[in-house]
Amino acid sequence: MNKKELKMREEAREAIIETLKNGYSGYYCDLHHEVFNTDYYIIGTYEAKKALEEYGVFDAIEKVQTYEKDNFGEVYTDLSNPEKVANMLYYIIGEEVLFEMMEDIDEFHDNWNNPADEETNAAILKAIRREN
């Protein structure tokens, strides 16, 4: 795993934690959508190109292609658009991070199909702090 991916994974983890701290109230199974699909990770071609160069452009394209083929049967992301590739890469990494957290935290796993509430969010955040 390269330094940029490690940084993106940490940013994704922090985004999940921040969303829970801010009183997330949707279903836990929709948390990934809320955190990684309602806003952009990177805006601007220059910033996206820089991020992809740090990550490895071809590694990023390969990760996006593999994910989309495995999940959708074909590639939908415009691979000629650095912003779209960088944002899809963050979306994928966010899913990986969320699923890893879910596996390690019973409160997350046990409530996956339930609506979020303050008590469960607090229990998940407490478990995350214990992990660190």
The pLDDT tens digits for 82-119 are 999 999 999 999 999 999 998 889 998 899 999 999 99
Q: Report the pLDDT value the prediction gives residue 1, as an integer from 0 to 100.
A: 79
User: Could you list the residue range(s) of the whole structural domain that residue 116 is in?
Assistant: 3-131
Q: Is the pLDDT of residue 129 over 90?
A: no
The number of domains in the chain is 1
Amino acid identity, residue 13? Answer: R
Determine which helix (DSSP H) or strand (DSSP E) holds 76, and give its type and residue range: none
Q: Is the pLDDT of residue 43 over 70?
A: yes
* Of 55 and 130, more confident: 55
Q: Report the pLDDT value the prediction gives residue 109, as an integer from 0 to 100.
A: 87
Q: Is the pLDDT of residue 29 over 80?
A: yes
Residues 74, 79, 82, 86, CA torsion sign: positive
Nearest to 128 by CA among 4, 14, 3, 6: 14
Strand partners for 115: 27
Q: Sorting pLDDT into bands at 50, 70 and 90, what band is 2?
A: very high
| Average pLDDT, rounded, for the chain | 95
Distance in angstroms (rounded) separating the CA atoms of residues 128 and 123: 9
Q: Report the pLDDT value the prediction gives residue 132, as an integer from 0 to 100.
A: 65
pTM: 0.93
Q: Report the pLDDT value the prediction gives residue 130, as an integer from 0 to 100.
A: 85
